Structure 1
């Protein structure tokens, strides 16, 4: 399975809130928190083929451009699935993840999974959980991240293999 991970500037390791204007970019490696996901993916002979990123402020100022470019690049790289996050309880990144995930799901044939914490994101969960796969995860500093990443990988495998997601959704998604 070939996976694209989309992150903000913080989770991609490109700086803190002071770098929220980081323009969109990508590398054909697992950057920042994507490296943790890559370790879990390796157990199922899967790999991250690219990490896409941009700052949350840059995204807010260029939403249509970022959504279109990330969707086109994921298709061009022939990804099997797109993962957005982990967004933890960072609301700006969680909003970016949900909006980009929604765009990719509506405008491509690629399946999308999003990973965020419910803390500070109740509004996003209310708006998006009915039509996006949003995997539960702890807030930053909370326990249970490794299990949440394992659940994310299991979900990726299930959507790529077009399996029934009923049990996955009820156990691991909001």
Structure 2
């Protein structure tokens, strides 16, 4: 299973809020918080084939460009699934994640899962939960991240095999 992870500049390890203007980019490896997800993926012979990133302000100013570029690169790299986040309780990153996931669903055949915490994101989750797979994760520094990442990996497996995800969504996503 070939996975692409999309992160903001903070989770990619490229700086804090002061670097929110970081342009889109990517590397063919697990960067920043994607390292933790990669450990869970390796247990089921999954691998991260790339980490895409951009700052949240850069995204807001260039959403159309970022959406199109990330989608085209995911298809070109033949990703089996895209994971956005974990976005934790960062509202700007969570909004970016939901908008990117919507674009992927509408313009590609690559399945996408968003990993978000409810804290600071309740209205956003309410807006997108019917149309997206938004996997529950704890807020930054919260407990339960390890099991949330295992659930995320399970969702990736189901999505790549095009299996019924209703039970998964009911159990591990906001629905």
TM-score between both structures, scaled by the size of structure 2: 0.99
Structure 1 match to 2:167: 167
Structure 1 runs (4+) greater than 4 angstroms displaced: none
Separation in 2 of the partners of 1:154 and 1:37?
Answer: 12
Matches within 5 A, 1:17-166: 17-166=17-166
Gaps of 5+ in 2: none
The two structures have a TM-score, normalised by structure 1, of 0.99
In structure 2, distance between residues paired with 1:100 and 1:161: 22
Deviation string 1:118-146 (CA, Å, 9 cap, x unpaired) is 01101111111001000001101110000
In the alignment, the residues of structure 2 paired with residue 55 and residue 164 of structure 1 have an alpha-carbon distance, to the nearest angstrom, of 34
The whole-number CA distance in structure 1 between the counterparts of 2:24 and 2:162 is: 31
CA offset digits 1:38-87 (Å, max 9, x no partner) = 00000000100000000000000000000000000000000000000000
Supply the distance in 1 between the matched residues of 2:166 and 2:109 (Cα, whole angstroms): 20
Aligned length in residues: 174
Q: Tell me the distance in 1 between the aligned counterparts of 2:173 and 2:59.
A: 25
